[in-house]
Amino acid sequence: MCLNKMFRVFVILLLLHSITLHAQKRIALVVPYKPNEHFSDADHEIAHGSELSASRVREIIRERLSASIAQKLSGFDSTLYFANQTADTQEDLRKIYNSLGFRFIYSGSGKKKAEADERSRVSIKNLFRKKESNQVAYVQDDKVLPNEATTRYYEAYITNKNLMPYLDSTYQLDRLILLSMFELKTRADLCLDKAAGIYQRELSVHFTVLDKDGKSKGGDVVRMLFPSNSNDLDDILNHTLPVISQHIALEVR
């Protein structure tokens, strides 16, 4: 009798330990942007230079961006993204997309940079120093463009209260990273070589981070420039995705 009681206590403790370990496990899921949220004026040039169709260029960018962000995330026991899509994952993507709303809001990083700039100006005025000596660098990596106070990003938000319970039961999520828009545009105002027709291209990725309850934990747009002298897709993605992904990963806590 006593042994049976001790055994039941042991089983209960083991179950509680298992539940605790499960509760402490942190899992992040990266959701790619909708295919129709890909905007680019360079796809056909890149397709020609890479010997691919324009549609395939768009598919590769979407797939590799999600994978790159998942690889850069830290502090999680597991990071997931929709690769090698099956009927089940396609259905989950459909559920997610049908449960989201989108809106443009001002970039938080742009606001912080504007506030930092204002603090610099006040400090300069008070201390009679040159602006350059007090400028606060919001983004230290010069490959990424700092957002301004007028910069807006495409925020994603939950419109279906049943989505997060479903994702939690399916993936046991702690964080949901929603990519909402991809932009690639040629900057005609930033000419590198007029004779050769080489300009800067600006790549932008909009994202939102949600917790397991669907509450926003942040979001922004990350932008960077790269020259248009290469239309090899691998070269472009190898150059841009690690930088973009690292900055997004730093916003996921």
Q: Measured at the alpha carbon of residue 249, what is the angle toward residues 72 and 82, in degrees to the nearest 5?
A: 65
Would you call 243 helix, strand, or coil by DSSP?
helix
User: What separation, in Å, do the N-terminal and C-terminal C-alpha atoms of the chain show?
Assistant: 49
Residues 244 and 225: beta-carbon distance below 8 Å: no
Rounded CA-CA distance 107/86 in Å is 35
Q: Where are the domains of the chain?
A: 26-107+151-249, 109-148
Q: Specify the pLDDT at position 45.
A: 97
pLDDT digits (tens, 9 = 90+) for 220-229: 999 999 999 9
Q: pLDDT tens digit string along 189-199?
A: 999 998 999 99
Rounded distance between C-alpha atoms, residue 208 and residue 221, angstroms: 9
pLDDT in tens, 24-61: 689 999 999 999 999 999 999 999 999 999 999 999 99
Residue 121 pLDDT exceeds 70: no
Pseudo-torsion of CA 58, 64, 68, 71, nearest 10°?
A: 150
**What does the pLDDT average to over 126-145?**
43
**Res. 118 pLDDT band, cuts 50 70 90:** low
| Confidence (pTM) | 0.81
CATH class held by domain 26-107+151-249: alpha beta
Of 82-96, 138-152, 192-206, which gets the smallest average pLDDT? 138-152
Q: Extract the tokens encoding 227.
A: 């020259």
pLDDT for the residue numbered 24: 62
